[in-house]
Amino acid sequence: MAAPTRFLTTAIDYTNAPPHIGHAYEKILTDVLARHHRLCGRQTYFLTGVDQHGQKVAQSADKEGISPREFADRNTEKFLALYRKLGISNDGWAATTDGRHVRVVQAALQRLFDCGQIYKAAYEGFYSVRAEQFLTDKERGPDGEYGLEWGEVVPLREENYYFKLDREWLLRFLVEFPENIFPTYRRADVMQATHKISGDLCISRPKERLNWGIELPFDRSFVTYVWFDALMNYVSFAGWLADEVNAAPEVRATLPNFADLWPACAQVIGKDILVPAHGIYWPLMLHGLGFRDEEMPKLVVHGWWNVSGEKMSKSTGNVVDPDALANKYGVTALRYYLMRDMATGSDADFSEERLIGRYNSDLANGLGNLLNRTLNMSSRYRGARLSRGGSAAEADEIRGLNEVVLEAVSEYGFQMDHFQPHAALEALWAIVNAANGLVETSAPFKLAKLTDDSAAQARLDAVLYVLADSLRVIALLIEPVLPDASAAMLAQLNVSVPTGNRLESALRDGLAEGHQLNAPTPLFPRIEV
Ligand code: MSP
């Protein structure tokens, strides 16, 4: 039986640097999907958070002369503040230094160790002191030597713990559950990489090399590999083993019931961390821990935001700061642009000009204009009181718009259920365009002048009503992407937020005869460049 709660998670952001636009995009995408489930009246739990351990955090902290904890805490605050500002509606917050998580990671390691899936072995090879990593032949230059970028390279023999990788199971699983990865074509990458991996996964780091991590419960001179730690967040903060290791009542009460949530219906990650972490290690870890094939989470893999076709990077200096953008253009403009301009799964190019262009054309000129003129005309011609217009409501132009609305609502629901907010928005904008089109073709300002013509007056009523009612539908459905604008639109339309399934309400609860609208306040002022 499926879990009663929709459980959505994201990758947890690495705290070695402040947040950038890719982090913001992923959280907004997942937020939109979670809000969509809530909008459909479905029980939902949304978890996101930060990845606080690991070598890069330790090194960055070292450079600044502060402790890794202080360093991670400082960046964690930046992520938290950003996500509050962006309206991210997460229910849980996964921070990997949290004791609730540490206990679960250690319990998992112990389980795998006890059943022989973790073993100790010595590895002998070349080691870069500067990069603090073992080097393979792949790192050798054309001359067969390790380049200067690796600094001092020494032969090293090190004992570590390894997690056995059950490749055969994974390959079988990937074939039997093709729907487990979205978009499905990404499965081929995982299969290819699975065929290629040799050996098992090293899941420990000796403390003399790195001590900023979670200690192995069976050997305190090691900490666990940061990916083993980080991946476990998806279950630790969902309440896995809570009755066993987080049983103190005041702790237990802070965690959800695992059985209600698991498996996640969307584990949203970027394409760079599918192989090997989420596509290979993660299912293998779950499998090793006794999870059944049907209990594997669904991976939703999004693309990358590039800048002028290039990868964002600190060294190029092209890292886009979402906080600065939100301050400059507003959260509404930023959320709309990020959701409208990227198809989930594909890459997109970030550009401030496009952000402004999208906002001005779709929100200021499109939706904003429709809302303003509808409320203004209703107020001027009808004292803001709506009437259906009797038989005029049966005219083709009115029916036509109603049909567009009907189709858009169903398309919108379908696209959101299939992780494609950009297409859901496109569907909603079919209403915006058709409604603005109706204003042009019916010319209400002309109808209003024909005061002695009862047919013209009925037509005016019917037009104003269908415009306002279409706006009600848009206001209800836009909530996942633009929660603030949705609330403001509903207030201007004088519509209260329905409980239960909003999609159903959108189609069912049309505005009443005599419905009184409120005064318009411009919602999407143009961004002037
Ligand atoms: N800490 C790991 C994830 C552990 S999950 C158990 C990590 N962190 S990260 O900060 O580097 O990346 C966090 C998320 O942001 C990843 O899903 C990554 O794909 C995403 N993005 C990072 N840069 C991005 C873009 N330029 N564009 C879109 N998303 C990108 O990996």
Question: What is the per-residue DSSP string for 447-488?
Answer: HHH-TT-HHHHHHHHHHHHHHHHHHHHHHHHTTTT-HHHHHH
User: Could you tell me how many residues make up the chain?
Assistant: 529
| 12, 15, 23, 275: residue to mutate for ligand 1 pocket, most atoms within 8 A of CB | 23
d(CA 374, CA 360): 19
Task: Quote the ligand 1 centre to 529 CA distance (angstroms).
Answer: 31
Instruction: State the DSSP string of 93-138.
Output: EEETTSHHHHHHHHHHHHHHHHTTSEEEEEEEEEEETTTTEEE-GG
d(CA 169, CA 176): 10
Per-residue pLDDT tens digits for 314-333:
889 999 999 999 999 999 99
Task: Quote the ligand 1 centre to 19 CA distance (angstroms).
Answer: 10
How buried is residue 423: exposed, middle or buried, by Cβ count under 10 Å (0-12/13-18/19+)?
Answer: middle
Q: What is the pLDDT of residue 198?
A: 85
The answer on pLDDT for 1 being more than 70 is no
| 88, 186, 269: residue to mutate for ligand 1 pocket, most atoms within 8 A of CB | 269
Per-residue pLDDT tens digits for 455-511:
999 999 999 999 999 999 999 999 999 999 999 999 999 999 998 999 999 999 999
The amino acid at 274: L
Q: What is the pLDDT of residue 428?
A: 98
- The CA-based angle 257-263-265, given to 5 degrees, is 115
Nearest alpha carbon, ligand 1 atom 15 = 23
Residue percentage of the chain with pLDDT more than 70 = 100
Give mean pLDDT, residues 253-269. 98
The answer on pLDDT for 275 being more than 70 is yes
Q: Which residue has the tokens 């609860």?
A: 509
Give mean pLDDT, residues 72-98. 98
Per-residue pLDDT tens digits for 144-195:
999 999 999 999 999 999 999 999 999 999 999 999 999 999 999 999 999 9
The answer on pLDDT for 117 being more than 90 is yes
Task: Quote the ligand 1 centre to 194 CA distance (angstroms).
Answer: 21
Beta carbon of 278 within 6 Å of any ligand 1 atom = no
Per-residue pLDDT tens digits for 401-439:
999 999 999 999 999 999 999 999 999 999 999 999 999
d(CA 85, CA 327): 10
Give mean pLDDT, residues 136-151. 91
Would you state the structure tokens that stand for residue 26, as one six-digit string?
A: 């992923």
Q: Where are the alpha helices (DSSP H) in 177-288?
A: 186-196, 226-231, 233-236, 242-245, 249-252, 258-261, 282-288
Beta carbon of 245 within 6 Å of any ligand 1 atom = no
Ligand 1 atom nearest the C-alpha of 272 is 19
From residue 294, give the alpha-carbon distance in Å to each of 4, 173, 180, 399, 423.
Answer: 15, 10, 10, 46, 29
Residue 294 half-sphere exposure toward CB, CA atoms < 13 A: 3
pLDDT-derived band of residue 2, with 50, 70 and 90 as boundaries?
confident
Beta carbon of 304 within 6 Å of any ligand 1 atom = yes
Task: List Cβ neighbours of 113 (8 Å cut-off, separation of 6 or more).
Answer: 161, 217, 218
Per-residue pLDDT tens digits for 355-374:
999 999 999 999 999 999 99
Fold of 352-508: Isoleucyl-tRNA Synthetase; Domain 1 (1.10.730)
Q: Is the pTM for the entire model greater than 0.95?
A: yes
What angle separates helix 396-417 from helix 21-39, to the nearest 10 degrees? 120
- The CA-based angle 293-11-256, given to 5 degrees, is 65
Pairs from 325-331 (Cβ < 8 Å, separation ≥ 24)? 325/21, 325/352, 325/355, 326/82, 326/85, 326/86, 329/355, 329/356, 329/359, 329/527, 331/85, 331/86, 331/87, 331/484
Ligand 1 atom nearest the C-alpha of 312 is 26
Q: What is the pLDDT of residue 133?
A: 83
Give mean pLDDT, residues 376-380. 98
d(CA 327, CA 294): 44
Give mean pLDDT, residues 35-59. 97
The answer on pLDDT for 132 being more than 90 is no
Beta carbon of 14 within 6 Å of any ligand 1 atom = yes
Beta carbon of 312 within 6 Å of any ligand 1 atom = yes
Burial call 517-529: b when 16+ CB within 10 Å, e when fewer: beebeebbeebee
Beta carbon of 12 within 6 Å of any ligand 1 atom = yes
Q: What is the pLDDT of residue 289?
A: 98
Burial call 355-389: b when 16+ CB within 10 Å, e when fewer: bbebbbebbbebbbbbbbbbbebbeebbebebbbb
Task: Quote the ligand 1 centre to 230 CA distance (angstroms).
Answer: 12
Task: Quote the ligand 1 centre to 460 CA distance (angstroms).
Answer: 52
Nearest alpha carbon, ligand 1 atom 5 = 11
Q: How many CB atoms within 10 Å of residue 439?
A: 18
Q: What is the pLDDT of residue 448?
A: 98
Q: Domain segments of the chain: what residues?
A: 352-508
Q: What is the pLDDT of residue 315?
A: 87
pLDDT higher at 199 or 299 = 299
Q: Which residue has the tokens 């730690």?
A: 229
Residue percentage of the chain with pLDDT more than 90 = 95
